[in-house]
């Protein structure tokens, strides 16, 4: 009975002139509503994307300005440069990595440096490049490359802490020979002053491998030697040893 009365009421409303939505119109209105909602979502998404891109652009501009302010006009370090405070190395075991860049220097810079270190600094133990090579040769399972390390940043700006891949390589090698810190000869380069006798300038960094901290970086200028003196003449190897010797005096 309830259903019949409902049907009768529906017929009465139709007779009274009430508008009844046809199925086709209902489908049309529903489709139109969905299209409007989709368009609104697209507009919101587009606004969000534009906002993100604008924020990223502002951040990139800020980073560029900071970099320009920090190092835009800073010249590369030259002979006599010394940054940081070297620690007291007495009683420590220091790994000396091979010279990473050799520019215009004949002979064996590593051998010259090793001679100077052993001759002038006896208060600590040096693990020299040839000793590191021997240990690596006996450890084929260790993936470490003592030469060709990415050290160019030391010649371009002040480095306070080394990161990967340099940090990882030095850490593996130092752990292999039980050493910390690492003395890394970044570059041995023949001076380019044509009016003077040639000199060999050594760029050297002292790093703590447990943290990556750079304790000291310096460019040591060697004494002048006549052209054609043979091998390295009088390079800065002994002068680097003098600097390192000062780290053992407390």
pLDDT in tens, 124-180: 899 999 999 999 999 888 888 899 999 999 988 889 999 999 999 999 999 999 999
Domain boundaries, the chain: 2-55, 82-246
Q: What is the pLDDT of residue 144?
A: 84
pLDDT at 198: 77
- Does the reported pTM lie above 0.95? no
pLDDT of residue 14: 47
Counting as low any pLDDT under 50, the low residues of the chain are 1-18, 52, 60-72, 230-236, 249-250
- pLDDT for residue 167: 93
The reported pLDDT for the residue numbered 55 is 53
Q: What value does the CA radius of gyration of the chain take, rounded to a whole number of Å? A: 36
Other C-beta atoms closer than 10 Å to the C-beta of 54 total 10
**Interatomic CA distance for residues 233 and 229, integer angstroms:** 5
* Fold topology of 82-246: Rossmann fold (3.40.50)
């Amino acid at each position: 009975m309830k259903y019949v009365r409902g049907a009768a009421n529906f017929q009465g409303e139709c007779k009274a002139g009430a508008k009844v939505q046809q199925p086709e119109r209902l489908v049309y209105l529903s489709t139109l509503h969905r299209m409007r909602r989709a368009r609104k979502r697209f507009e919101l998404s587009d606004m969000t994307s534009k906002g993100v891109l604008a924020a990223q652009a502002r951040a990139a501009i800020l980073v560029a300005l900071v970099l320009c302010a920090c190092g835009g006009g800073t010249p590369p370090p030259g002979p006599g440069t010394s940054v940081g405070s070297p620690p007291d190395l007495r009683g420590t075991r220091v790994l000396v990595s091979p010279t990473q860049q050799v520019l215009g220097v004949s002979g064996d810079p590593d051998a010259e440096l090793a001679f100077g270190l052993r001759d002038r600094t006896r208060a600590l133990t040096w693990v020299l490049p040839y000793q590191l090579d021997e240990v690596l040769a006996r450890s084929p399972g260790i993936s470490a490359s003592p030469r060709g390390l990415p050290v160019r940043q030391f010649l371009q700006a002040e480095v306070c802490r080394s990161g990967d891949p340099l940090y990882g390589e030095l850490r593996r090698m130092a752990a292999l020979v039980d050493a910390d810190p690492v003395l890394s000869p970044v570059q041995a380069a023949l001076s380019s002053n044509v009016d003077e006798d040639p000199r060999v300038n050594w760029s050297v960094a002292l790093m703590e491998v447990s943290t990556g901290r750079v304790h000291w970086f310096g460019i040591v200028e060697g004494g002048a030697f006549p052209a054609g003196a043979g091998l390295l003449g009088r390079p800065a190897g002994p002068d680097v040893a003098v600097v390192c010797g000062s780290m053992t005096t407390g």
